[in-house]
A and B are shown apart, each in its own frame.
Chain A
Amino acid sequence: MDKIRLATVWLAGCSGCHMSFLDLDEWLFDLAAKVDVVYSPVGSDIKEYPQNVDICLAEGAVANQENLALILQVRQQTKFLISFGDCAVTANVPAMRNMLGGSEPVLKRCYLELSDTSKVIPQDSQFVPELLEQVLPVHNIVDVDLFLPGCPPSAQRIKDALIPLLKGEKPQMEGRDMIKFG
Chain B
Amino acid sequence: MSVKTLKINGIDVAVEAGTSILHAAQETGIRIPTLCHLEGVSDVSACRLCLVEIKGSDRLFPSCITEVSEGMEVFTHTEQLQENRKMLVELLFAEGNHVCAVCVANGNCELQDVAIEVGMDHTRFNYQFPQRDVDLSHPQFGIDHNRCILCTRCVRVCAEIEGAHVWDVAFRGENAKIISGLNQPWGDVEACTSCGKCVEACPTGTIFRKGSTTGEKERDRTKVEFLSLAREKHQWTR
Contacts and interface: CB of A to CB of B under 8 A. Distances in A.
Interface residues of B, number: 25
Interface string A159-181: 00000000000000111101111
B112 A180 contact: yes
A41 B129 CA distance: 30
B237 interface: no
Contact of A179 (B103, B121, B130, B132): B121
Nearest to B115: A181
B83 to A, nearest CB: 15
A86 B146 CA distance: 18
Nearest to A88: B122
A67 interface: no
Contacts of B115: 179-181
B195 interface: no
Most buried by A among B97, B115, B119, B122: B122
B127 interface: yes
B112 A179 contact: no
Main secondary structure of the interface of B (DSSP, over half): loop
Interface size class of A (residues with CB under 8 A): 20 to 34
B97 A96 contact: yes
Main secondary structure of the interface of A (DSSP, over half): mixed
A182 B107 contact: yes
A175 B106 contact: no
A93 B215 CA distance: 15
Contact of A99 (B97, B100, B103, B123): B97
Interface of A: 83, 86, 89-93, 95-96, 98-99, 101, 134, 136-137, 139-140, 144, 147, 149, 151, 173-176, 178-182
5 contacts: A98-B127, A99-B130, A139-B122, A179-B119, A181-B101
